[in-house]
Amino acid sequence: MTKHKAGSSLTAKHNRKAPPLAKGDVNTNPADISFWSLIAEDFRANGSSLWAQGFWVIFTHRFGNWRMDVKPKILRLPLTVIYRIIHKLNQIVCGIQLDYSVPVGRRVHLLHFGGMLLGPRSIGNDVVLKQNTTLGSSDEGDVNARPVIEDHVEIGPGAVIVGDITIGHHSKIGPNAVVITDIPPYSVAFGVPARVIMKTQKDKGEIAV
């Protein structure tokens, strides 16, 4: 692709409205594993510790989705009240906000305490997020413009990832990076704004670019 075409494509993407977000009206927990097996897997992914704040945030997220299978809505009401109380406690005590309506894959590890505002379009499998990370929208005119975090992504402390963008699988986002454009798979990105400084190949280490 020529530089002109790449620039035109980027402009077109930012000029269009992002598609709607998940409504939160269905259970979006991974369908290939039972609820309690999923919780056990989340427990192991978050250090097998009941003191890990990340585990309780993920547990609350899974519970918030599981309750959506309870029908009719009137029977679900007590579970919704419990979810909202625990969700608010997670924000106050753990310093982490992750709404149940965000689709989250398996083995997601919220590695450190505090400062996490996690409002992306979706989070894939085997993702690691560290403290003081922000995933969300940067455009008040398009609140649906939120990032997709693909599988096996590692996001460093203080990173800000905003807009209708995709962080490609097996990528690493450096500490305090501000990401406002797509990051291709197998990339290492640093800076403000972030740019790809290295490409990685699975089992072959890192390659400077």
Residues 116 and 190 in one domain: yes
Return d(Cα 119, Cα 114) in angstroms, integer.
15
Total domains in the chain come to 2
Residues 180-207: tens digit of each pLDDT: 999 999 999 999 999 999 988 765 555 5
pLDDT of residue 200: 80
pLDDT of residue 201: 73
Residues 88-129: tens digit of each pLDDT: 999 999 999 999 999 999 999 999 888 999 999 999 999 999
Q: Which two tokens stand for residue 116?
A: 């996490």
Dihedral sign for Cα 70, 78, 56, 148, please: positive
Print the domain residue range for 39. Answer: 27-95
How many CA atoms, within 13 angstroms, populate the side-chain half-sphere of residue 39?
13
Domain-embedded: residue 207: no
Domain-embedded: residue 20: no
Is 153 within 8 Å of 137 (Cβ atoms)?
no
What contacts 209, CB < 8 A, 6 or more positions away? Answer: 196, 197, 198, 199
206: amino acid identity, one letter: E
Domain-embedded: residue 123: yes
Residues 35 and 89 in one domain: yes
Pairing between strand 166-167 and 154-155?
Answer: unpaired
pLDDT of residue 9: 46
Residues 147 and 179 in one domain: yes
Domain-embedded: residue 14: no
Return d(Cα 172, Cα 143) in angstroms, integer.
25
Return d(Cα 66, Cα 76) in angstroms, integer.
10
Residues 7-27: tens digit of each pLDDT: 444 444 556 788 999 999 999
Average pLDDT over the chain, rounded to whole?
Answer: 90
pLDDT of residue 14: 57
pLDDT of residue 2: 41
Closest CA to 10 of 182, 184, 134: 182
Residues 128 and 183 in one domain: yes
